[in-house]
Amino acid sequence: MARMRRRKGVWGKYMVHLSVVLIVVVWTVPTFGILVSSFRGKDEISVSGWWTALTTSEHNVIGRAKSPSDAVEQDGKYVISGNLLNGKGYVTAFGVRIINPTEFKAGDTAELPGGGGTLTINRDGSYRLVSDTPFEGSTGRRIYYTAALPPSFTLANYEKVLTSEGIGQSFLNSLTVAVPATVIPILIAAYAAYALAWMRFPGRALLLAVIVGLLVVPLQMSLIPLLKLYNGIGDIFGVPAKTYLGIWLAHTGFGLPLAIYLLRNYIAGLPTEIMESARVDGATDFEIFVRIVLPLSVPALASFAIFQFLWVWNDLLVAIVFLGNTEQQLVLTGRLRELLGSRGGDWEILTTSAFVSILVPLIVFFSLQRYLVRGLLAGSVKGG
């Protein structure tokens, strides 16, 4: 029996490790793909997946020859020559029609449709268009070919995002919104959670049930009522609309139910002996809260701070409704959205924008993670 238990324990450990590895892979691979795509150009992203950018791989490419004005006359024929690859990779096949870009091998000479002459593309990417009559048109002829291209990366996307007009102001606006909108709900929720966990008063269970019910209310349903309430209070006290105070209060209202619920469950699980000993020594509820509960609740406070900051930093809807989208008020997510263009024409910077916007949340996460671990250890020692 003991041997069977040990075997089950070993298999259980292996399954846990396997599950952790699987979760890490599922989360890491897409993130790594976005990172790779952020360093690729628009043309590369549109024709191939990010995994093809790591090694030399074949791509169907649509190139364009030089314009007819660049043609030179040689031996009574008109010739246009150039290079499609500029020393990067090599051509494996080409075609004269888009439906068959691999009709001819590199080095072959193909007849152009309609008697327009001949086309030769060599392995190194050099090409030669030859015609008995002058070439017509103002632009160069399209060339369809398949090439094996090495990995190619660029910083153009990051340069475009980081040097765009107003990006610095939007970054400061997001910080101005996110920091107070994270601190204020934590301060309020900590007091409320202690009261719901350790203080006895009428209606406590009903109040807790209402808080749990608010967790399932969609944010979109409460936006308009909350905005009307804020505007009504603002008219009474003369507070202007579209201010930082409004968005701080909005994020506080949206974040309080989850904050109170999480902190209340954690604080309610603290050792009863510590609370009773403090009361016997004459400590008030405020002293117990400040000197005992808060230090032991660092893990829960840090966890909610991470969630709340990530939510506020990545928010766009609440920021537009309560703060506005003027040049001086636009947050970072709104600025990055505008960089895409009115019709999303610059969609290649989406991946780059994602990593630019995730920089601050990563710093916050890793900073609070250190305090989170320290708080867990301190809680376990004091709780023992």
pLDDT above 50 (res 381): no
Instruction: Based on the fold, state whether residues 171 and 239 are members of the same structural domain.
Output: yes
Q: Which of 133, 153, 173 is the last residue of a domain?
A: 153
Same domain, 364 and 327: yes
Q: Which of 305, 270, 262 is nearest to 289 (CA)?
A: 270
Q: Domain boundary at 94, 119, 153, which? A: 153
Do both 133 and 281 map to the same domain?
no
Same domain as 320, residue 295: yes
The domain total for the chain is 2
Residue 301 and residue 242 share a domain: yes
Residues with Cβ within 8 Å of 24's Cβ and at least 6 positions away in sequence, in order, are: none
pLDDT at 378: 44
Q: Running DSSP on this structure, what letter comes out for residue 100?
A: B
Closest CA to 265 of 187, 198, 210: 198
Please tell me the predicted confidence (pLDDT) of residue 343: 57
Question: In this predicted model, what pLDDT tens digit does every residue of 28-76 receive, in sequence order?
Answer: 888 888 888 888 887 777 777 788 888 888 888 888 889 888 889 888 8
Range of the structural domain that residue 96 is part of: 50-153
Confidence of residue 281 (pLDDT cuts 50, 70, 90): confident
pTM of the model: 0.71
Compute, in degrees rounded to 10, the torsion defined by CA atoms 316, 340, 350, 177: -30
CA distance 59 to 91: 10
Q: Is the domain of 222 the same as that of 115?
A: no
Confirm whether 42 is domain-assigned.
no
Nearest to 91 by CA among 106, 108, 102: 106
Between 246 and 308, the more confident residue is 308
User: What percent of the chain shows pLDDT beyond 90?
Assistant: 18
Q: What is the pLDDT of residue 59?
A: 80
Of 344 and 86, the structure prediction assigns the larger pLDDT to 86
- Going by C-beta distance under 8 Å and a sequence separation of 6 or more, which residues neighbour residue 15? none
Residue 248 domain flag: yes
pLDDT for position 379: 42
DSSP string, 316-340: -HHHHHHT--STTT--HHHHHHHHT
Between CA 376 and CA 378 the distance in angstroms is: 6
Compute the distance between CA of residue 130 and CA of residue 120 in angstroms, rounded to an integer: 9
Tens-place pLDDT, residues 108-162:
999 888 777 899 999 999 999 999 888 887 788 888 999 888 888 888 888 888 8
Examine the domain organization and report whether 345 and 302 are in the same domain: yes
Shared-domain flag, residues 131 and 201: no
Instruction: Calculate mean pLDDT across residues 224-253.
Output: 79
Cα–Cα dist 188/344, whole Å? 41
DSSP state of 218: -
Give the per-residue pLDDT at 327: 77
253 belongs to a structural domain: yes
To the nearest 10 degrees (0 to 180), the angle between helices 167-198 and 332-339 is 140
CA atoms of 151 and 40, how far apart (whole Å) = 9
Closest-CA residue to 247 (of 219, 217, 227): 227
Exposure b/e, 161-196, CB count within 10 A at least 16 = b: beeeebeebbbebbebbbebbbebbbeebbebbbbb
Q: What integer pLDDT is reported at residue 109 of this predicted model? A: 92
175: in domain: yes
- Split at pLDDT 50, 70, 90, the class of 79 is very high
Helix axes 298-314, 350-383, angle to 10 degrees: 170
337-343 long-range contacts, CB within 8 A, separation 24+? 339/160, 339/161, 339/164
Same domain, 64 and 138: yes
121, 153, 185 - which closes a domain: 153
3-state DSSP: the chain helix, strand, coil percent, rounded to 5?
Answer: 60, 15, 25
Above 80 in pLDDT, residue 289? yes
At residue 383, the pLDDT reads 40
Residue-averaged pLDDT of the chain: 83
How far apart (Å, rounded) are the C-alpha atoms in residues 94 and 82?
15
Tell me if 301 is assigned to some domain: yes
Residues 77 and 203 reside in one and the same domain: no
Is residue 122 domain-shared with residue 195, that is, in the same domain? no
Per-residue DSSP letter, 284: -
